[in-house]
Amino acid sequence: MDTLANIPADSRFDEAEADVDHGTAWRYREPDAPNPLTILVTGWSTGVTKLGEAEFLNGIDRDGRKWSVLVGSVVLTKRLIEGTVEEWNGVKNEFVVTRTLGRVQAGEVVSIKYVGDVNGARYAYPNFKVSRKPRTAGSSSGDHSWPVEAAPQFVPAGTAGESAEVAASPDNDIPF
């Protein structure tokens, strides 16, 4: 019977490990967790939590450490998956979508800062600040040189995707 010591170098071992090793989970509430966490996005993965299927943003920090971020909160879902940018509208007294950047892509640099919990209508939920920087011409994931402020898709509130009314709904305080 062959043992691993007797098997010649086989790149499939590294490839198989890479398929399942998405990095260390970012536990933003832990005192030793980096905050903000800033990563070069390597891609997306899915997994299962106690609440069902979930999406994870994967990346590498400037020290080369691999990270995996659960994107389950409303704030992270809006900014990272839907790519919506909202601003407070004092006239309407609610947040409105001012533009849509789309889903974060491999090659973007993303910084996520946990800023504490917010009391919602039914429970407290985590709140985050998110900064996205586009892929550069030199990145291996594509040639996009547009600045975040001039992203290719501008969608006024209520015209596509989530409307301003839905964005400001008190039911949008799901903490996961």
56-92 residue pLDDT tens: 999 999 999 999 999 988 899 999 999 998 888 999 9
* Between 107 and 166, residue with greater pLDDT: 107
Mean pLDDT of 40-60: 90
Q: Residue 59: what pLDDT?
A: 95
Query: Tokens for 144?
Result: 């996009």
Asked whether residue 159 carries a pLDDT value surpassing 80, the answer given is no
Which pLDDT score, from 0 to 100, does residue 81 have? 94
Global pTM?
0.66
Report how many domains make up the chain. Answer: 1
Judge whether 44 and 57 are in contact, CB under 8 Å. yes
Tell which wins on pLDDT, 116 or 141: 116
The number of residues in the chain equals 176
Alpha-carbon distances, residue 117 vs 35, 85, 158, 174 (angstroms): 14, 20, 28, 12
- The region of weakest confidence among 26-30, 59-63, 114-118, 169-173 is 169-173
pLDDT reading at 175 higher than 50: no
Higher model confidence: residue 12 or residue 40?
Answer: 40
Q: What's the domain range around 156?
A: 4-172
Are 155 and 99 in contact by the 8 Å Cβ rule? The answer is yes
